[in-house]
Amino acid sequence: MELGIFNYNNRVSSSNVNFKRKLTEEEKPQMEADMNKAFDYLEIKNRALIIHGSVYPDSTDGAKNSHNNTPIVRNHYIGSPYRQRDFNKIAKMHGFNCIQLGPNGELCKGDNSPYRASIYAKNPLFVDYGEMTTGKYANILTKKDIDEINTKPEPSGKNYDMTDFDEAKEVTKILIHKAYNNFVNKLNDNDIKAQNLNKEFDKFKKDNNNWLENYAMFHVLSDIHGTDNFHKWQNNTDKHLIKLKSQNNSKAKNRYDAVKSRSQNDINEYMFTQFIIDKQEKEDKAERKKDGIKYIGDLLVGFSYADEWVHDEAFAEGWKIGAEDGGPCNSPQIWNNPLPDPKKLFNKDGSLGISGQLLYNKVKRAAENVENLRIDNAMGLADPFVYKADTVHMVVAADRGKTYNIADRSHLWGGNLSYIKEVDPEGNYQKVLHNIVIPALKECGINPKEAVWENLGKQSNTFKRIFEYEEKLPGIIPTTGSRAQDICFDWAPVRDKNGEIKKNSFGNEIWEPTVPKPDWSLIGSHDNKPTVQYLDDGWIDGNSGWMPEYLGGYLCADPEKSNEKDRLIDNIRRNPNMKLKAKYAELMRGTANIQVTFADWHGIDKTYNPQNNSPDTWKVREPIDYNDKYHENLITEKAPVMNMPELVGMAVNAKAGMMVAKGLKDREDVYKEANPIMKSMKHWENVLKEPEKNEN
């Protein structure tokens, strides 16, 4: 369906309009300052845009790096979170002050999910080729090299583009191979720039020798066996090569040395690739610091096949991590993620065992080159749902006319780890947050109270005890099914000097928010469909968080604005577009930290992770002309984009009205502070909807 959102009172004709309205250079810093002032009033500290690295748009023609004025040339078939200065600055102008990425590890060969990516090896698909044409990278690529391989795909013509993982991987493979060969040839020719780059490369290899060569060896062996799923390898020595080699198995040592000897060039190329990615990540972080853009990395709960193979001894044999509910037809989620062995988390003296050290290093690696972390499936670091891999039996089930392969509960042997004493007899896993994850976060300079802890889904009592009562960590609060005023603040009664609770003019007790809770609130994440699609779901009709009376009453709480409230309720009731807008505004009155997906912001009515074996899973991305389409859709109403100043203005009005209704402050004083902010938001709301005059 098409939605006439965010301009519901006055339609603007799309005839003779050139949709290229951009703020002037003078307007941009003023809008950003006004948005920040409004969010300060709302006491929302962090405003995160959820956009995974692959989702970013392609480089616009002529885009250049600010630090050396070189062209930005990325893989046209996939996005990259690096060298995204223009996109990030536009997001910042709209009020976002941090970007929540997905995991940035190297993908498994047969799986494009970032949540099956490596914890150590980084994703080479994110490399900026343009940088490698510069002297700093010894000019190991030329523009001709790149243009011959990295051809631009045809635009989709939709309000989004799609990642082509197969093409992206092929382009990367060819260009990285060419760059490495050029690097070697330049070294052989005693090129000074290549020698300087090689010194950096040598240092990188030394600093990362605890994992780098073994991952390179896995890369070579996966090519030999035709798959990176080493469980399918026919050679049993290769399956457990690192573990057997560490046990001084002579056959394994000879095999390792033989493969290394004949594949040394491939191993070096793999290590060089990881060096290039690491170098560019660090350079990007330095640039983002200048622009005031913070990245939130993603600590995935799982591991790649490479992680599992290299750290074979650290995992409990035969046991996997999943989720009890949430699969198709409410089946268990069979993630096939290996379980770090609880018996090897800690040594007898309390120091970290091999699986404990792996988890510690995993946090440290995820936190490199970002300013904060999202903790994927926090329960998986305290009391995960685990199952025996050999008890998984798949059956066919139907739901709403679709069929799915699901895990049969009647055969699955599993449960929360705290109940499975044979796997964790000492309850070691319940110490992971306190003794491993939180210390690692602090060492990385990340305050655990400010991290994004994903605590959604079914929670065990053991997890609740650890997470909420012992560690007192903030969680994620979805606003789709709960009233905002009940979740946003810790409330306390206002008492007079005699200790009596004060009452307002209506005779009601006066309560005030003590401090916004440190939680993160959202409507949907990267795992959910765009919020606009909820309007077609019958469940929202009876849901308290979507009721017109609640939304209207919450957004217009001032008793003296009852007519305005009634009009808003009626509008929400009749107009689904207004219901969506009201829901977004409610989010802006959320907790101390909020999250918005790229799909909601730019009105992309396509699910990024449909979770139903769709061929489009993980492929939706921003189009190259995302900003033009954003402004076009604000005017034509073809897509439900979020006019951030408009929504924030509604939220400011909601807070002011709530303060008046609760008698927290004199009415005149409330609006003396709020009205100038609402006026500035109304100004920018209208500016964003202005079309440029047709040049003809």
Three-class DSSP category at 94? coil
Cα separation, 358 vs 528, whole angstroms: 30
**For position 514, what pLDDT does the model report?**
55
Alpha helices in 130-263, H assignment, sequence order: 143-149, 165-188, 192-207, 212-225, 236-239, 241-246, 250-262
**For position 68, what pLDDT does the model report?**
66
Confidence tier at 542 by pLDDT (50, 70, 90): confident
Residue 649 structure tokens: 């203005």
pTM flag (> 0.85): yes
CA neighbor of 284 nearest in space, from 199, 198, 371, 212: 371
**For position 517, what pLDDT does the model report?**
65
Cα separation, 185 vs 197, whole angstroms: 13
Cα separation, 211 vs 242, whole angstroms: 11
CA distances in angstroms from 250 to 126, 256, 312, 551, 569, listed in the order given: 39, 10, 18, 70, 76
18 pLDDT more than 50: no
Confidence tier at 55 by pLDDT (50, 70, 90): very high
**For position 653, what pLDDT does the model report?**
96
Assign 3-class secondary structure to 290-334: HHCCEEEEEECCCCCHHHHHHCHHHEEEEEEEEECCCCHHHCCEE
Cα separation, 233 vs 222, whole angstroms: 9
Interval 672-683: pLDDT, tens: 999 999 999 999
363 pLDDT more than 90: yes
More confidently predicted of 100 and 524: 100
Q: Provide the residue type at 51 as one letter.
A: I
Least confident of 25-34, 125-134, 401-410, 595-604: 401-410
Cβ atoms of 103 and 221 within 8 Å: the answer is no
Three-class DSSP category at 83? coil
Cα separation, 29 vs 529, whole angstroms: 33
Q: Provide the residue type at 465 as one letter.
A: R
Interval 236-254: pLDDT, tens: 999 999 999 999 999 999 9
**For position 17, what pLDDT does the model report?**
40
Interval 450-509: pLDDT, tens: 999 999 888 999 999 999 999 999 998 887 644 443 444 445 677 877 788 887 766 777
Cβ-based neighbours of 58, under 8 Å, separated by 6 or more: 74, 76, 79, 152, 161, 624
Cα Rg of the chain, angstroms = 27
15 pLDDT more than 70: no
Residue 657 structure tokens: 């009205």
**For position 489, what pLDDT does the model report?**
45
N-term to C-term CA, the chain: 33
> Mean pLDDT of all residues in the chain?
89
Cβ-based neighbours of 382, under 8 Å, separated by 6 or more: 429, 430, 432, 433, 462, 463, 466, 467
Cβ atoms of 521 and 479 within 8 Å: the answer is yes
**For position 427, what pLDDT does the model report?**
96
Angle between helices 85-93 and 27-42 (to 10 degrees): 50
Cβ-based neighbours of 244, under 8 Å, separated by 6 or more: 237, 251, 252
Interval 195-227: pLDDT, tens: 999 999 999 999 999 999 999 999 999 999 999
**For position 593, what pLDDT does the model report?**
93
Confidence tier at 545 by pLDDT (50, 70, 90): confident
7 pLDDT more than 70: no
Interval 323-353: pLDDT, tens: 998 888 888 999 999 999 999 999 999 999 9
CA distances in angstroms from 153 to 149, 161, 167, 177, 670, listed in the order given: 12, 10, 10, 22, 54
**For position 295, what pLDDT does the model report?**
98
Confidence tier at 399 by pLDDT (50, 70, 90): confident
Confidence tier at 692 by pLDDT (50, 70, 90): low
2 pLDDT more than 60: no
Cα separation, 388 vs 317, whole angstroms: 9
List phi, psi (to 5°) of 99.
Answer: -115, 125
Confidence tier at 93 by pLDDT (50, 70, 90): very high
513 pLDDT more than 90: no
Q: Percent of the chain at pLDDT above 90?
A: 73
Residue 438 structure tokens: 């939180």
How far out from the chain centre does Cα 197 lie?
A: 32
Interval 151-195: pLDDT, tens: 888 877 788 899 999 999 999 999 999 999 999 999 999 999 999
CA neighbor of 307 nearest in space, from 124, 123, 118, 122: 118
10 pLDDT more than 70: no
Least confident of 139-148, 395-404, 458-467, 648-657: 395-404
More confidently predicted of 604 and 484: 604
145 pLDDT more than 80: yes
Residue 670 structure tokens: 């409330």
Q: Provide the residue type at 622 as one letter.
A: E
Cα separation, 127 vs 404, whole angstroms: 37
Cα separation, 303 vs 118, whole angstroms: 6
Burial (Cβ within 10 Å: 0-12, 13-18, ≥19) of residue 421? exposed
> Residue 476: enclosing H or E segment and its boundaries?
strand 476-478
Least confident of 440-449, 502-511, 525-534: 502-511
Confidence tier at 689 by pLDDT (50, 70, 90): confident
Confidence tier at 694 by pLDDT (50, 70, 90): low
Cβ-based neighbours of 539, under 8 Å, separated by 6 or more: none
